[in-house]
Amino acid sequence: MAETRQPAAGIIATLIIMAISLAFISLFALSTFTGWVAYCIECMIPMQIVIGITWATKHPRFADTRRQPMKGVLLALITAAAGIVTGVLFFYTVNGGINPPTPFLMMFTVALVLSTFAGSIIWGGWPFVNTIKSPVAAGLSMLAACYLANYVIFRVFFNYGFMQGAPVYVASLDPHGLFNAWSVLVYYITVIGVMFLMLSFDLWPLTKFPSIMKQPALGIVWSAICLALGYLAYYIGVKALKMDVVSFMVRVPVVFIFGTIIVLNMLQGSLFGRIAQPLKGVLNMAAVVVVGTLLFELYGALSGRVTGTLRPGPPSYDFELWIASALLGVTFPMLIFHAEFFKLWPLRRAS
């Protein structure tokens, strides 16, 4: 098979993965899809992040030494195994063994994905990759630290008092944290959206300061920027423009993150690769917004055919939960499997 070059390879792969994802989603009723299905897949994403980013798909060695597609298959199986272990652990701890998964567990798992992104990208696995000689041990140690950090974040900040009186509310599972759980989760997603924005700029202008580009200075500065700009975006959307917090989540940070995955991962940054920063970043950002918005609208238009009529807005947020789960809960990890684990095989071949 002749090799397909970028950006054609990324476009073709994206369309194929999207079709497979929507076909998969169509197999389930709404409650099952946004509950058990989304939970099981999201439990795999933290390990997927470690393999794809911290290990750069070079570990474990027994998988890295294999040719495609066997390498991708082995890495996917490792991801699934890790997802099963953590999924069972969280189900009986955070969720108290209650079936089906509660909003407490679903939000905890989403926040864990965000925490793992922060640990692997913003902090670059520091201090574990700098002090532990074994890359596998360093990656697993970082993942365990992300679990712990996320648990602390969940217990300190998430409050579900707004759900009191609802059938799904369980007082013993409510952390009774400082802020409304939806507000915390949406702000956290927005913070990670800013992280992805800075990747479009290749961390410009931080790259102009060599002293900052070393950990832990980079992690501190990058975190501060993401927290500040994330709050600014959240304040403008939710406070100033009075957008519903969940609607803001799916229409702004979710769309931006999904668009970034297409432009930077699936197309491998090929659209504007020869242009210098910061113009490259501006063009990347524009492409991300356009691509993410178009695919959001496409998924929204197809939602009725795939799952059935979905009611937007409170109290159930059926449409918002469906599209967030469809874009970032299913399509996103499948895109990463193909782009990073399989390296777009068979469209592109290893050198």
Average pLDDT (64-82) is 97
> Phi and psi for 84 in degrees, rounded to 5?
-65, -45
Give 99's DSSP letter: S
The dihedrals phi and psi of 159, each to the nearest 5 degrees, come to: -130, 130
For 30-45, how does the pLDDT look when each residue is reduced to its tens digit (9 = 90+)?
Answer: 999 999 999 999 999 9
Please state, in angstroms and rounded to a whole number, the distance separating the CA atoms of residues 37 and 201: 34
Length of the chain in residues, anyone? 351
- Predicted model pTM: 0.96
Inter-residue contact 268 to 14 (CB < 8 Å): no
Give kind and range of the element (H or E) at residue 257. Answer: helix 253-260
Q: Has residue 349 got a pLDDT over 90?
A: no
- The full set of domain ranges for the chain reads 8-341
Q: Give me the pLDDT at residue 2, please.
A: 64
* High-pLDDT (> 70) share of the chain, %: 99
